[in-house]
Amino acid sequence: MYGAGFQTYVTLNELTNHLCGISRPTHFRGVATVVTKLFHIVQPHVAIFGQKDYQQLLIIRRMVRDLNFDINIVAGAIIREPDGLAMSSRNSYLTTEQRASALSIYRFLLKARTLIQCGTTNASEIITAGSEIITAYPDTKIDYIVVCDPDTLEDVAEIDRPVLVALAVKVGKTRLIDNMILARSP
């Protein structure tokens, strides 16, 4: 995929400066570049990207619009295990104890949903609740918990519209991500 003298990259500005882009500064440049290569090789009419990698989905959509790719990007819903853990090839790395700790991620998202549906408008309350829930489980380390705009990924302080609640947590050595779009009940 990367021959001698390779030097061409597809880069995005604002969208890559949030969430996973902070701890992985060149990751999305790699994603955008290799997806561009794949699109040119395969020339698909439709491409499906999972909503679990929400930032990746947003970046691919933005790239497709900005660079006039003639491709329809479809979001694939998050599929969860019966207990709620988002499916991921990485889940197979977890020990039994880590698998139990990984569930803290979904527990927090359910808690955030309840809080927001019931009228909590202060994003920092959501984030504090997340810290408390996740650190109560052994072998967890929070990379980030954010309440942000679903289109720009910019932090939202007051929840007065639908928000993306997204987080990345290291469970042992395995980094897991998950998210939900949440809004106050009508």
Between residues 52 and 62, which has the closer beta carbon with respect to a second copy? 62
Q: Smallest distance from the beta carbon of 19 to a second copy, in angstroms?
A: 15
CA distance 91 to 166: 18
DSSP category for residue 14 = G
Coil, strand or helix: which one is 109? helix
Q: Which helix (H) or strand (E) holds 6?
A: none
Query: 95 or 152: whose CB is closer to a second copy?
Result: 152
Q: How many CA atoms lie within 13 A of 60 on its CB side?
A: 25
In whole angstroms, what is the distance from residue 171 CA to residue 91 CA?
A: 10
Kindly identify the residues of this chain, within the stretch 144-173, that bind a second copy according to CB under 8 A: 152
Give 2 or 95: the residue with its C-beta nearer to a second copy.
2
Q: Does 25 bind a second copy (CB under 8 A)?
A: no
Contact call for residue 36 and a second copy (CB under 8 A): yes
**Binds a second copy (CB under 8 A): choice among 31, 33, 147, 169:** 33
The residue length of the chain stands at: 186
Does position 96 interact with a second copy (CB under 8 A)? The reply is: no
Q: Are 101 and 83 in contact (CB under 8 A)?
A: no
Alpha carbon distance 158, 163 (integer Å): 10
Q: Is residue 58 part of the contact set for a second copy (CB under 8 A)?
A: no
User: Is 32 a binder of a second copy (CB under 8 A)?
Assistant: yes
Q: State how far the Cα of 66 lies from the Cα of 94, in Å rounded to an integer.
A: 38
56 contacts a second copy (rule: CB under 8 A): no
Q: Are 91 and 78 in contact (CB under 8 A)?
A: no
Asked whether position 65 contacts a second copy by CB under 8 A, the answer is yes
Residue 66 is a binding residue for a second copy (CB under 8 A): yes
One residue of 21, 55, 57, 62 binding a second copy per CB under 8 A: 62
Token representation of residue 5: 């003298």
Number of residues that bind a second copy (CB under 8 A): 29
Q: Which residues bind a second copy (CB under 8 A)?
A: 2-3, 5-15, 32-33, 36-37, 40-41, 43, 62-63, 65-70, 152
